[in-house]
Amino acid sequence: MNDLWKLHWLEASGDIGLYKSSIVRAAELACEHLSSVTRVPRLDILVQCMPEAVIPETGFAGRAYGPTLFGLAIDPANLKLPGMLENGSLVRQIVHEVHHCLRMRGPGYGWTLGEALVSEGLAGQFVCWLLKTAAEPWERAIELSELQANPVPLTTLQSPHYDHSAWFFGAGDFRRWYGYTLGYQMVAAWQRDNAECATEKWFSVTADEVIAAGLASGLLTN
């Protein structure tokens, strides 16, 4: 592993030794891709057996905690995990989390629903831009036409008291991954007018700028 990223294996909750080499390789590939477009930050990466926290379709999940720290939850018993570790899915997840860390050095992840939508959308679109890959299933869970037929009021986006699990994971009244898909499309609208932006803009663009693009594209409403 490179000198900038330190992997910490938290194994009290379960053995992940069988997958260590695949995880290291995915981190190395993610770092290589990032280094081609920006200065790679120093990071601590926590890796832990945590089945209850993973995406069932992949066997892993990520969470950024701050500008220098993110974690990866792994479910060694998930039958889809081995294939996902080898097909590039984990590389994309790591780039997604590093984007969050880099954004936390500037505007931050945010406290309102609108800011969270923008942060998730930026991370998802950044992965596609950097790695030339397609949207993840959670970024295309709802058709664009359906989103535009049901635009979200700006006042809803301004609330810091939103239910994150409901908007992003389907724990409430919203369909699963609604927030990820909406944020992804909001950033797509912003990107259409910023296709040639500097790499750093991916981390520093304000939420208000992306929200304005979402409003203009019919995803949001006054």
Write the pLDDT tens digit of every residue in 159-180: 999 999 999 999 988 999 999 9
**CA-CA-CA-CA torsion sign (150, 154, 157, 162):** negative
| pLDDT computed for residue 173 by the predictor | 86
Q: Decide if pLDDT at 72 tops 80.
A: yes
Q: Decide if pLDDT at 202 tops 90.
A: yes
| pLDDT computed for residue 2 by the predictor | 79
State how far the Cα of 80 lies from the Cα of 168, in Å rounded to an integer.
Answer: 22
State how far the Cα of 99 lies from the Cα of 13, in Å rounded to an integer.
Answer: 27
What domains does the chain contain, in order, with CATH numbers? 5-103 (3.30.2010), 113-221 (no CATH)
State how far the Cα of 52 lies from the Cα of 57, in Å rounded to an integer.
Answer: 13
Q: Name, in order, each residue with C-beta under 8 angstroms of 120's C-beta and a sequence gap of 6 or more.
A: 168, 179, 180, 183, 184
Residue 78 gets which letter from DSSP?
Answer: -
Q: Decide if pLDDT at 1 tops 80.
A: no
| pLDDT computed for residue 39 by the predictor | 95
Q: In this predicted model, what pLDDT tens digit does every residue of 95-114 receive, in sequence order?
A: 999 999 999 999 999 999 99
Q: Which two tokens stand for residue 120?
A: 């998730």
**CA-CA-CA-CA torsion sign (110, 111, 116, 120):** positive
